[in-house]
């Protein structure tokens, strides 16, 4: 076969490398200088072959070759000449040939013939080094230079390259001939080259492996200066130290862990401690346990919380902890902590996460307390029951419960959903806390949600029995009323005078708030007698305790200092809670200050706080939940997520259920960005996609310092120097293995699509625009509206009309990402109603109204998206047009793997909302052509038989082109190569 000039084959070659996984996330060659791959050797009929001799120790080297189509030289060939240190070379005349076959030998019978396959070489400068062929002159620039020089070190530790070239241009000068000059191996993972700059003091550069794989800094090239620079993972360090210089051995041990505490519950002990410090960094802890019949047991742990389970009954145990760094230096042992176990608890009902790919599971989002009431005995109205107007409607805010959700799991399954996102389940404590986001006791499930035979564990188990997942909403950022039980709760000033006796319950020393039990003195479940004091408590740090502020309440009552929580009052210890109000929502203080007076902001960079939260959420992981939806994720620094909370989740799931379950434990964060631009007002630290990436540099071991360092560093990098990904995109028509090596562990809610779903076309365009900056957008959670906002930051539930809803759903169920529906949207429940107005209006008039009336009666699901039987009002609900629409969308999505886990492309496609998707794995190869609402033409697609999953229409493609007429608003076409044909029955839209 004739050889194609490299310049003309560049893009197909890159595409092939992406498809095989060799290219990963690296970009194409730089476009700023002469197009690097467009230049070939000056004489196309010669080849200068360089051979690396350092690993051979041959006294002489011979090149034995044959031009393509020509005869071989006489053995042993022609002797090669010295080129530069460790290299020999030979220039050979190829005549009219476009390349040559070659072997090498020492002239004495020792050969290198590429394992018997010979070497296939081209033209121009060619290097052969330890079996690897590249295109460069390894000796260029090795002569002593005059003028300015730049010594460049390039790291290939994360690329796996076996050689490296630098393609560069001094400022004011011309680019080297592509692929540039060969770099020298410096030390493990590093390559080096000293360049002559002449009078220039800076240069532009890009790097490649000599075989078409480039790193050009996301097409921006690297800006380097004279002197020594390092380039590692797209980060340039100017005036850098030699990365290959001998490193002084680390002999400094970490400090001993401090404040080790142990607490026993039944036959388990939870141990926690403050993080140790080290000059380099602590890598693990060694926990030593003594006591019981097993004697001394040593366990390695990666976090600062250790749960020791399965211990002996009524036995004393002693624990010490040592810190270990990467060099193996071990700290002294901590002070000992002791705990005595009790009786063994009854074996709890077990739960195990389903552990499958979360992209296969459409999500139904329920506000548990407002969905369906299965047990009226746990209903509670709260302190605002009358004021809000809920009492007049006999509609207590805490009304729905787990029993009601268990009873209607078949309703959710009949819609076709296989995952349910439930609002936070922890015990709440505020005036209007039915939603669950005001956590008070993070270790306790709110009793207002549980019933006999319908605990949270029962809900998890019941859902799993039906093949459905439970995603638990979790809050790491804040607590309410006003601290957190077991961590810190402040005492506020209060006085039971004629004005305030209605508010401050009389203290009952024997009573503890649990949200459900009525306190006998006040006759209320929302007891607050333990939160206030008229007398100044010992250790009070709030200034001007109990003195009038000069202000009045809404009722005209006198207000006092220290009566309400405030981060600036001194009420909260700085170590555990942040001490400021947010002033700039795109600034650093959005991550380190309070959102609202009733949301006490955790100091999440503090080890004690981290341990409290990690320990709490370990409990729910152990119960077998399938994932976490993370509330207010943007208000915690990414470096804290990446260092502490996300690894702790992975570690716990792996420990309990194994590595595969951990890979599929689905964490998706709310990174609220209410704008239409790709980067949230230009602030990378406050943009959703930012949270899907690992850190790309090391920061201070101190988490608080690290958070500031990270904010400054990434803010300075700006939007133009953030990582990019091809994980969501097809390579032409081909699926490629995604590169998840830089994934943080947190996926995201697609806020940009959400904000633009006032129009499906707008949501589609905005979603596509952001996908290259998300680690893997196929995991994005996509919804139209929620318990917080409708599209365009509307405060009302979506009211675009049934046709628009159908169109939005058609897009959500076929485009990349995981379709998610807020409860009731399948019947346009409460459309146009204000989502939340607090206690100023009845919940029945809002977007959080009670839904159970629409579920009255009985329903069974014979399969996902299929009703077995239904009677009563729920049968009418299931007959609604959007219900039929979403049922069939779920049936189609479940039957076509490309619509669940596939990458997508719009290449070669005309049409407003048209795309192709493919997923390939093992024996599965699913390729689908989708158009929503409008017509489309697909060119350059594989030939074959395509069947529409909506109509059953069959089209045979023989010329790489398929055209589809416009199906109409809310309708779509899904042509699947060798597909199953029509899936489900025609409905009001899919027909």
In this prediction, residue 42 carries a pLDDT of 38
Residues in Cβ contact with 985 at an 8 Å cutoff, skipping those fewer than 6 apart: 888
Q: What percent of the chain stands above pLDDT 90?
A: 74
Using omega within 30 degrees of 0 as the cis cutoff, is the peptide bond preceding 104 cis? no
Taking the CA atoms of residue 352, residue 355, residue 359 and residue 362 in that order, the dihedral angle to the nearest 10 degrees is -20
The average pLDDT across 611-637 equals 96
Q: Is the pLDDT of residue 423 over 70?
A: yes
Question: What's the rounded Cα separation, in Å, for the pair 670 and 686?
Answer: 11
Residues in Cβ contact with 140 at an 8 Å cutoff, skipping those fewer than 6 apart: 176, 181, 182
Strands (E), 534-604: 548-552, 558-560, 600-601
In this prediction, residue 358 carries a pLDDT of 98
Question: What's the rounded Cα separation, in Å, for the pair 967 and 964?
Answer: 8
In this prediction, residue 15 carries a pLDDT of 32
User: Which residues, listed in sequence order, are joined to residue 426 by a DSSP beta bridge?
Assistant: 445
Q: Angle 40-41-42 (CA atoms, 0-180°, nearest 5)?
A: 115
The average pLDDT across 91-106 equals 90
| Average pLDDT score over the chain | 90
In this prediction, residue 518 carries a pLDDT of 94
Do 246 and 57 form a contact (C-beta atoms < 8 A)? Answer: no
The average pLDDT across 963-973 equals 97
**How do strand 316-325 and strand 282-290 relate by DSSP bridges?**
antiparallel
Do 63 and 87 form a contact (C-beta atoms < 8 A)? Answer: no
The average pLDDT across 861-886 equals 97
Question: What's the rounded Cα separation, in Å, for the pair 458 and 448?
Answer: 15
- In our burial notation (b when 16+ CB lie closer than 10 A, e otherwise), range 757-772 reads bbebebbbebbbebbb
Give the N- to C-terminal CA distance of the chain in Å, as an integer: 50
In this prediction, residue 283 carries a pLDDT of 87
pLDDT digit string, tens, across residues 898-956: 999 999 999 999 999 999 999 999 999 999 999 999 999 999 999 999 999 999 999 99
Taking the CA atoms of residue 847, residue 852, residue 858 and residue 861 in that order, the dihedral angle to the nearest 10 degrees is 40
Question: What's the rounded Cα separation, in Å, for the pair 535 and 494?
Answer: 9
Taking the CA atoms of residue 981, residue 983, residue 984 and residue 990 in that order, the dihedral angle to the nearest 10 degrees is -90
DSSP letter at 730 equals -
Comparing 36-40, 573-577, 592-596, 701-705, the range with the smallest average pLDDT is 36-40
Question: What's the rounded Cα separation, in Å, for the pair 12 and 212?
Answer: 10
Q: Which residue has better confidence, 876 or 200?
A: 876
Do 104 and 128 form a contact (C-beta atoms < 8 A)? Answer: yes
Give residue 54's pLDDT band: very low, low, confident or very high (50, 70, 90).
confident
> Which tokens is 726 given?
């091809």
Question: What's the rounded Cα separation, in Å, for the pair 744 and 169?
Answer: 36
Q: Classify residue 84 by burial, with Cβ atoms within 10 Å: 0-12, 13-18, 19+.
A: middle
The neighbour count for residue 42, using CB atoms within 10 Å, is 10
Phi, psi at 407, each rounded to 5°: -65, -25
Number of continuous H segments (helices) and E segments (strands) in the chain: 16, 54
CA distance to 41, 266, 382, 432, per residue, from 387 (Å) = 84, 44, 10, 11
Q: Is the pLDDT of residue 306 over 80?
A: no
274: enclosing H helix or E strand: strand 268-274
Using omega within 30 degrees of 0 as the cis cutoff, is the peptide bond preceding 76 cis? yes
In this prediction, residue 821 carries a pLDDT of 98
User: Which residues, listed in sequence order, are joined to residue 320 by a DSSP beta bridge?
Assistant: 288
Question: What's the rounded Cα separation, in Å, for the pair 367 and 362?
Answer: 17
pLDDT digit string, tens, across residues 111-121: 899 888 888 88
In this prediction, residue 141 carries a pLDDT of 66
Q: Is the pLDDT of residue 492 over 70?
A: yes
Comparing 96-100, 271-275, 515-519, 543-547, the range with the smallest average pLDDT is 271-275
In this prediction, residue 101 carries a pLDDT of 92
Give residue 476's pLDDT band: very low, low, confident or very high (50, 70, 90).
very high
pLDDT digit string, tens, across residues 149-186: 999 999 998 777 888 999 999 998 889 988 889 999 88
Question: What pTM does this model have?
Answer: 0.71
Q: Is the pLDDT of residue 22 over 70?
A: no
In this prediction, residue 142 carries a pLDDT of 57
pLDDT digit string, tens, across residues 125-140: 889 988 888 888 888 7
Strands (E), 516-612: 532-533, 548-552, 558-560, 600-601
Q: Is the pLDDT of residue 490 over 70?
A: yes
Nearest to 461 by CA among 665, 624, 667, 660: 624
pLDDT digit string, tens, across residues 441-461: 999 999 999 998 899 999 999
The average pLDDT across 347-364 equals 86
């Amino acid at each position: 076969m004739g050889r194609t000039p490299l310049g003309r084959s560049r893009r197909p070659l890159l595409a092939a490398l992406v498809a095989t996984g060799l290219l990963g996330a690296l970009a194409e060659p730089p476009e700023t200088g002469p197009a690097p791959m467009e230049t070939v050797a000056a004489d196309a009929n010669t080849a200068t072959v360089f051979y690396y001799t350092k690993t051979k120790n041959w006294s002489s080297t011979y090149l034995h070759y044959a031009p393509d189509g020509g005869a071989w030289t006489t053995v042993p060939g022609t002797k090669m000449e010295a080129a530069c240190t460790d290299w020999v070379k030979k220039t050979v005349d190829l005549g009219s040939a476009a390349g040559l076959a070659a072997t090498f030998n020492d002239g004495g019978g020792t050969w290198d013939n590429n394992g018997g396959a010979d070497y296939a070489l081209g033209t121009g400068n060619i290097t052969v080094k330890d079996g690897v062929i590249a295109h460069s002159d390894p000796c260029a620039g090795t002569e002593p230079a005059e003028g300015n020089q730049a010594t460049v070190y390039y790291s290939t530790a994360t690329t796996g390259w076996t050689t490296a070239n630098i393609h560069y241009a001094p400022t004011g000068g011309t680019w080297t001939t592509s692929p540039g000059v060969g770099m020298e191996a410096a030390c493990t993972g590093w390559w080096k080259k000293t360049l002559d700059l002449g009078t220039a003091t800076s240069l532009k550069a890009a790097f490649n492996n000599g075989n078409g794989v480039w790193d050009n800094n996301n097409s921006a090239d690297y800006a380097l200066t004279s002197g020594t620079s390092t380039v590692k993972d797209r980060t340039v360090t100017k005036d850098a130290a030699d990365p290959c210089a001998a490193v002084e051995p680390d002999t400094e041990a970490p400090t001993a862990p401090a404040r080790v505490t142990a607490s026993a519950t039944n036959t388990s002990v939870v141990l926690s401690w403050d993080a140790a410090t080290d000059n380099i960094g602590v890598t693990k802890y060694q926990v030593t346990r003594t006591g019981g019949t097993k004697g001394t047991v040593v366990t390695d742990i990666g976090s600062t919380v250790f749960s020791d389970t399965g211990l002996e009954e009524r036995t004393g145990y002693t624990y010490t902890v040592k810190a270990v760094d990467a060099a193996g230096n071990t700290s002294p042992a901590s002070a000992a902590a002791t705990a005595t176990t009790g009786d063994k608890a009854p074996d709890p009902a077990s739960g195990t996460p389903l552990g499958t790919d979360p992209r296969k599971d459409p999500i139904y989002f329920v506000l548990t307390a407002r969905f369906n009431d299965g047990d009226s005995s746990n209903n509670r109205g709260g302190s605002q029951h009358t004021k809000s107007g809920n009492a007049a409607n006999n509609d207590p805010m805490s009304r729905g419960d787990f029993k009601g959700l268990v009873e209607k799991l078949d309703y959710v399954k009949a819609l076709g959903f296989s995952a349910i996102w439930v609002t936070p389940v922890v015990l709440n404590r505020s005036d209007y806390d039915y939603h669950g986001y005001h956590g008070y006791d993070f270790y306790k499930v709110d009793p207002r949600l549980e019933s006999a035979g319908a605990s949270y564990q029962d809900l998890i188990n019941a859902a799993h029995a039906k093949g459905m997942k439970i995603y638990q909403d979790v809050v790491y950022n804040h607590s309410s009323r006003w601290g957190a039980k077991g961590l810190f709760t402040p005492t506020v000033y209060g006085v039971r005078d004629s004005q305030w006796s209605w508010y401050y319950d009389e203290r009952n020393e024997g009573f503890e708030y649990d949200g459900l039990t009525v306190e006998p003195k006040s006759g209320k479940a929302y007891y607050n007698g333990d939160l206030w004091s008229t007398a100044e408590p010992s250790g009070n740090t709030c200034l001007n305790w109990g003195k009038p502020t000069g202000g009045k309440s809404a009722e005209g009552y006198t207000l006092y200092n220290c009566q309400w929580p405030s981060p600036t009052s001194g009420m909260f210890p700085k170590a555990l809670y942040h001490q400021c109000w947010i002033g700039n929502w795109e600034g650093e203080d959005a991550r380190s200050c309070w959102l609202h007076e009733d949301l006490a902001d955790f100091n999440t960079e503090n080890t004690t706080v981290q341990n409290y939260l990690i320990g709490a959420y370990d409990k729910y992981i152990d119960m077998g939940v399938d994932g976490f939806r993370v509330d207010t994720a943007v208000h915690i620094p990414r470096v804290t997520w990446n260092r502490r909370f996300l690894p702790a989740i992975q570690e716990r799931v792996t420990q309990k259920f194994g590595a595969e379950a951990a890979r599929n434990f689905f964490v998706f964060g709310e990174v609220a960005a209410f704008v239409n631009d790709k980067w949230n007002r230009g602030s990378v630290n406050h943009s959703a996609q930012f949270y899907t990436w690992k850190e790309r540099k090391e920061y201070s071991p101190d988490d608080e310092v690290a958070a500031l360092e990270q904010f400054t560093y990434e803010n300075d990098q700006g939007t133009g120097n953030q990582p990019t990904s091809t994980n969501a995109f097809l390579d032409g028509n081909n699926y490629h293995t995604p590169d998840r090596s830089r994934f943080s562990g947190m996926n995201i809610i697609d806020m940009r699509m959400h904000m633009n779903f006032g129009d499906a076309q707008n949501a589609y365009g905005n979603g596509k625009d952001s996908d290259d900056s998300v680690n893997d957008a196929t995991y994005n959670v996509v919804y139209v509206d929620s318990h917080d906002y409708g599209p365009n930051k509307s405060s009302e539930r979506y009211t675009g009309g049934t046709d628009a809803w159908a169109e939005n759903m058609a897009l959500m169920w076929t485009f990349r990402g995981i379709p998610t529906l807020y409860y009731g949207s399948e019947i346009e429940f409460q459309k146009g109603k204000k989502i939340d107005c607090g206690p100023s209006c009845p919940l029945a008039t809002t977007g959080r109204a009670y839904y159970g009336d629409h579920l009255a009666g009985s329903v069974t699901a014979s399969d996902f998206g299929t009703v077995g039987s239904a009677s009563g009002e729920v049968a009418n609900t299931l007959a609604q047009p959007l219900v039929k629409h979403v049922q069939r969308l779920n049936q189609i999505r479940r039957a076509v793997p490309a619509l669940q886990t596939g990458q997508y492309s719009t290449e070669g496609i005309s049409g407003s909302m048209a795309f192709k998707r493919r997923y390939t794995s093992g024996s599965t190869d699913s390729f689908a052509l989708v158009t929503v609402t409008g017509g489309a033409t697909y060119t350059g697609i594989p030939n074959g038989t395509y069947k529409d999953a909506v109509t059953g229409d069959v089209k045979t493609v023989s010329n790489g082109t398929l055209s589809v007429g416009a199906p109409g608003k809310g309708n779509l076409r899904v042509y699947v190569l060798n597909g199953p044909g029509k899936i489900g029955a025609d409905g009001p839209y899919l027909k």
